[in-house]
Chain A
Amino acid sequence: MKTGIIFNIQKFCIHDGDGIRTCVFLKGCPLRCIWCHNPESLSKSPNLSFDKSKCSLCGRCLADCSARKAENNAFIINRDNCSVCGKCTRICLNGANEIIGREITAAEVIETVLQDKMFYETSGGGITVTGGEPSYQPEFTLELLHLSSEAGISLAIETCGTGSREFYKEAAKLGTTFLFDIKTLNPEKHKAFTGADNAHVLSNLEYLMQINADIIIRLPLIPDCNDSNEDIAELSEFLNRNKGKYRYAEIMPYHTLGISKAEKNGVDSPFVHQNATDDDISRWCSLFSSHSADVRVSK
């Protein structure tokens, strides 16, 4: 029986593939994109999330804890000492503590996903495996897709493209729709912004296009990072060259939802930027247009 580590099952997702979908968020990602809006997903194992805005400093959580200490009228957590036992989540009356990530069987996940079957039926929706990075728990993800397929719902995964060739091959065989991120086409920038180079990513994308998989290209655009005129010219060239081999491309404008989550989860987040503005989006659209590249904007 396949188990994996997930940190959320989110229903009524209408921007993650066709129709009304349920997203299953897998824990763990090999990349460390500086702009990540799911910082709680990065480590493969469960971790503690502490929301100090909900903390009343009552101190009930300190009693049995080796990681938390009171200091200067605040609670400080030493993450190295946190055994993720979960006691503080049960004892807090304000809901300030949460363990992000739990082990679960594929069957249990699918049982939850299928609760919304009636909505998939009227909308062509289904499951979207995301995270984190689905290909980072390849057997678990493939099992989720397999069980979903048997249940007659549509399949999708959101991926940064770092998985193994085998994984993508198997997923494609099941008829999965790939929401495939292109962070940037520039190898140096890719390394600087995500911590890894992109040759492998692009080769996986080429492979999927070659076998006629259903692909939706995702372009996360972050102002002042990967949205320069050259960047967009490069992307346009790529999109135009491969026209017809993917369904469509959509811009994902940067948003700041990740910043507060980073703090709660003890993840360093030196990257600070504002939400992409309407002006940013207009600029991107006209640039793509000037290169005759067709893109949508995900609002």
Chain B
Amino acid sequence: MTNLSQIDPFLYGYFSDESLEHGERVGLALLHAAKNIEIKFSAQLLPATSFESKYSTSSYIPSEGLCFSVENILALADKFPEHKETLCRYADEINIFKDKAKRLFSEPTEELDRSGAEWGGGWGGHSNPDYGRIINYGTDYIRNIISKNSSAHPESDRFYRSCSYALDAMDIIGERYRLLALENAETSDNEDDKELYLRMAKAFETVPVKPAYDFTSAMCSFMLVFALDGSDSPGRFDQYMYPAYLKTENKEEITDLIDRLWDYFRDKRSWNLCISGSDENFNDESNELTYLILETVRKKGYNTPNLTCRIHRNTPEKLWNEIADTLAIGTGLPALYNDDVVCTALEKIGIPPCDSHDYCMNGCNQIDILGKSHMGLEDGEVNFAKCLEFALHNGFDDIRGKDVSIKTGDPKTFETYERFERAFFDQLEYVTYNACSSANNWQHLRADFEPHPLRSCLIEGCLEKGKDYRNGGPLYNHGQILAEGIADTGDSLYAIKKLVYDEKKYTMQQLIDALKSDFEGFEELYHDFRNCEKFGNDIEAVDEITSRVLNRFFVLLKRNKTYRGGIYTGGCSTFSRAANYGIRTAALPNGKRKAEPLFADSIAATPGRDRNGPTAQIKSVLRYNHTDACSGFVFQNKFEKKLFETEKGKASFIALAKAYFYGGGQQYTVSVVSPEDLIDAKKHPENHRNLIVRVGGYSDYFVNLDSKLQDNVIERTTVNK
């Protein structure tokens, strides 16, 4: 008869003392799991075991902490009939727990969510734990922090116990790896493998309890934290691994381990790894590891981890060149972030320079402070264009055919553009506040029901305050709500101002009738609105309105506090979600048709509306205030590979990127395409809207060229292949 503690040690540990509170039980679950889960070395011989049970009944993941699958637990009941009664009872208890959580925190804004106007809180998010804390200090150091602070917070004794269990769990797994490494060294017939196993066995005599003494022990420590925490975002790897780099004489060992790690990342899929950066005085922080990582990325060509690179006013030319070379291989890595803008943005919300310069990214592009914050996740999104739709139709959702939002007045009665804009801002405020409120509900739920004892040991503030990672423990607890459809909204407002109010070419009645009928029977009106000036063409008047809309959003956010103890800030990163927002939004005065899957991709222009080339688009985009965006503020460009194949081409790219950043740009995602992609770009322009190509004597967006010109470009780049 198999012991329940071996079938699912999490369940066993969680239910081992049902008189305890949830948080402490989670800690016990981790402790029992550490003793009983299967541990193994990965294919690359790295110690990589995550907190997952054998039958997928329990796991510990970054966005939620300890998770149980009731469905799989019940399946287990069938598989192990001797434990059926117990397992079924456990499943019931877990359901009761989940139900309680749900009942306590029902969402106030389901209708707005269903309309695609906003969402808030449904995602627990990514983060950047302080790997360096374990790697360079050890679990005993953290135990010291606990003992130093626990007497000051007697009410948090259960929290501290839970954290101690998590630390013990890590040590137990470390010790088990030491033994497994010795075993594998014994049975291995490959000399190199043997040597590595013995090196790791020795490492585990020290780590994770004590600080790493070289790169191998640092890597062992890193793998423990990374895998157990849930394989999220490695963060500033080149910074916290650097002390170990310096202590290691045999640099080949380092290159070998990095190689293995990258293969592991490719298998496991990991998130954001951020290199380089600057200190408070903007001294450059790139080091040998920075360059080693870039070299590895070029060599391997994987699209994971999601590599980001911090640049600033003192970034060495050598790094710029290597960035260009790395981008040239075509995986779109690294994405670039500008310290001058990001640090200013973070300081504006009260984060001091010593901490703002410790920023990195997690997930796709969210900004976070390494090891000090719970703020790098999307708490929600607001669809600006849907708010505009509500304003045009007085709270009515023209796609779903029902009243969904508040009434802000019948636009036909508005005598000035300013009056109309105010109605739009009223809608924006209502929807934004609802997104924040929804997110706060979820945060409250997570604070009470999703404790994260392992994370809490790895984020500064939690142990010092005696509060869990999700309960306001971290130093910084701000939130991030993303804007969608900025350009679409700005273009629409500008067209309304110009054609309805300034030139009075059309009445509001005509416009609304046209929108409701999806422009059928209104060809001339459609033509005028569609061809009215658009954002992304370096036209001040349009850019100014668009920028004003975004600024209002940022202000509205800051008026809302997050449940976990910060304020809301904004950003924008649509990527593939753009089409979906387009489908859920009705016809708009920028010429978008009802349910057309057409929406601005992140902070750029609506596809096809930027007709004056990449420099004009950059100038428009720089009219936003990037230092008000504390979340990723994504700007995407795609280039032909051949641009990077000559020194002149590379230099042009670097000059363009520098102009963008020095002009106030926050973020730059650059993709590079091959000749084959051009053919695909012609067939599926919606997937390649940011692609810039050489057209005879100049360079412009491929999808804006007429068909013959596109054929010409394709022919010239694919000829004779």
Contacts and interface: CB of A to CB of B under 8 A. Distances in A.
Contacts of B649: 14
Interface in A7-64: 10-16, 19-20, 23, 37, 51, 53
Contact of B699 (A14, A123, A257): A14
B719 interface: yes
A55 B578 CA distance: 31
Give the interface size bracket for B toward A: 35 or more
Contacts of B700: 12
Given A260-B708, A299-B646, A255 B716 contact: yes
A93 B524 contact: yes
B591 to A, nearest CB: 13
Contact of A13 (B612, B659, B698): B698
Contacts of A279: 720
B712 A14 contact: no
Interface in A267-299: 275, 277-279, 299
Contact of A15 (B618, B659, B694, B708): B694
Interface string B640-667: 0011011011011001101100110000
Contacts of B538: 115
A142 to B, nearest CB: 22
Contacts of A119: 615, 618, 655-656, 659
Contact of A123 (B619, B643, B651, B695): B651
B615 A12 contact: yes
Contact of A257 (B615, B651, B659, B695): B695
A116 interface: yes
Interface in B613-643: 613-616, 618-619, 642-643
B54 interface: no
Contact of A275 (B642, B648, B663, B715): B715
Interface in A190-212: none
A278 B658 contact: no
A53 B711 CA distance: 15
B615 A20 contact: yes
A114 to B, nearest CB: 12
B191 interface: no
A79 B643 CA distance: 40
Contacts, number: 101
Given A37-B696, A278-B720, A14 B652 contact: yes
A218 B524 CA distance: 47
Contact of B648 (A13, A14, A37, A257): A14
Nearest to A124: B655
B615 A11 contact: yes
Contacts of B523: 93
Contact of A121 (B613, B615, B618, B659): B659
Interface residues of A, number: 33
B655 A10 contact: no
Nearest to B643: A14
B698 to A, nearest CB: 4
B521 interface: no
B152 interface: no
A102 to B, nearest CB: 17
B697 interface: yes
A299 B642 contact: yes
Contacts of A16: 697-698
A14 B653 CA distance: 9
Nearest to A58: B523
Find the residue from A19, A51, A93, A299 having the highest chain B CB count within 10 A: A299
Contacts of B651: 19, 123
A11 B616 contact: yes
Interface string B489-513: 0000000000000000000000000
B695 A122 contact: no
Contacts of A11: 612-613, 615-616, 698
A277 B655 contact: no
Contact of A93 (B527, B618, B699): B527
Contacts of B658: 122
A19 B712 contact: no
A13 B699 contact: yes
Find the residue from A12, A23, A299 having the highest chain B CB count within 10 A: A12
Contacts of A23: 697-698
A12 B619 CA distance: 12
Contact of A277 (B642, B692, B719): B719
A118 interface: yes
A125 interface: yes
A158 to B, nearest CB: 9
A11 B715 CA distance: 24
B705 to A, nearest CB: 10
Contacts of B662: 118, 122
Interface string B688-721: 0000101111111000001111001001100111
Contacts of B716: 255, 275
Nearest to A14: B652
A10 B712 contact: no
15 contacts: A10-B613, A11-B613, A14-B652, A116-B615, A119-B659, A121-B659, A122-B656, A123-B652, A123-B656, A125-B655, A255-B712, A257-B695, A257-B709, A260-B709, A275-B712
10 A-B pairs closest in CB distance: A123-B655, A14-B652, A122-B658, A122-B655, A122-B659, A13-B698, A278-B720, A119-B659, A12-B613, A10-B698
Given A13-B699, A20-B652, A299-B645, 8 more contacts: A11-B613, A14-B648, A51-B706, A119-B659, A257-B712, A278-B719, A299-B642, A299-B694
Interface of B: 523-524, 527, 538, 612-616, 618-619, 642-643, 645-646, 648-649, 651-652, 655-656, 658-659, 662-663, 692, 694-700, 706-709, 712, 715-716, 719-721
